[in-house]
Amino acid sequence: MTNDKKVQKFVKKYKKFYERYWVGQQTLLYNGKKYYMGFYQAFKKDTGAVFFTLDSGGASKVEYREAFEWFIISIRRLATIRDLGEERRNINMIGFKTTKHFLESVLNEVSLSSEEHRLFQEGIKSISKSLKLQDDLLKLMKNFDQFYNSKSPDHLYSTDDVQYLQRVNNEIDYIQYAQVKGFHDSISLFKRIRDVVNNNNEVKKLTNHDVKTYINEHCKGKESIRKNLDDITFIQGADQMNKDEYIDAVQREFLERQRRLNIDLMKELRYPNDLVL
């Protein structure tokens, strides 16, 4: 939240007597002007907002609208990165690592049939992909943390900064999708691996309670995981897309939804109150 008295005074000017108000933490730099957003709330319900610049000359309706769109994108993208990114970052991958180590031990120490060997190799490949995606996420979030910390205390974002937020957000979306899809697609494989574990005495000797638990977990809930997969993406034909195609499609879908949402958001503005074209 900015402590600039002029900014606070402007937001206070449009409040109603029973409302509380505050200035959003972020500031947008657009065409050389700084834009702020103030919010109002009464009885724990949002009641309106103002979007403004105090820089000399003001802004045209078109420029206000463009700046507003960039500002809302920055708010939404930043919130999603911090929520979804943190959630994905904190996923416990110990089960994947333990299972991968077990599968590798079996390949190194047990004489398997060609089909059993193939199954265990495919299992390692599947888990390695999930672990690689998680490593990519950790690096992505580390870089984001550095970027976000560099914005303190002013939290001033240019359009280039907002573009960066969009790339990070889209990358997180892809990683989440790819991890869940990989888990879903490997369920049948791990059911066959479980059969080998249960029926091959040499393999069974290398198995412990944790390994059995993780493999069993990997065999469960195909329908619920399919539903989870459907819930996290609205992209038609995602199964047939590579990473770049998926990210491009997610970006287009986000912007289309954002434009529709902006129309309603603009109607809630007390200042300016004529941005809807």
Distance CA 168, CA 77 (A): 9
Whether the predicted pLDDT of 191 surpasses 80: yes
Pick the more confident residue, 44 or 145: 145
pLDDT at position 107: 96
Which residue would you say has higher pLDDT here, 234 or 78? 78
52 strand-pairing partners:
36
Q: What percent of the chain has pLDDT above 90?
A: 78
pLDDT digits (tens, 9 = 90+) for 114-124: 999 999 999 99
pLDDT tens-digit series, residues 89-106: 999 999 999 999 999 999
Residue 103 CA to its chain's centroid (Å): 31
Q: 26 by DSSP, 3-state: which?
A: coil
pLDDT confidence band for 277 (50 / 70 / 90)? low
Q: What is the pLDDT of residue 238?
A: 84
Q: What pLDDT, on the 0 to 100 scale, is given for residue 44?
A: 87
**Per-residue pLDDT, 237:** 84
The answer, yes or no, to whether residue 132 has pLDDT greater than 90, is: yes
Q: Residue 241 and residue 218: Cα distance in Å, rounded?
A: 25
pLDDT surpassing 90 at residue 215: yes
Q: What is the CA radius of gyration of the chain?
A: 25
The gap between the terminal CA atoms of the chain, to the nearest Å, is 30
What's the pLDDT at 2?
61
221 CA to centre of own chain: 23
Residues 109, 173: Cα–Cα separation, whole Å = 39
- pLDDT value at residue 275: 79
> Which of helix, strand or coil describes residue 112?
coil
Q: Tokens 């974002």 identify what position?
A: 157
Distance of alpha carbon 173 from alpha carbon 175, whole angstroms: 6
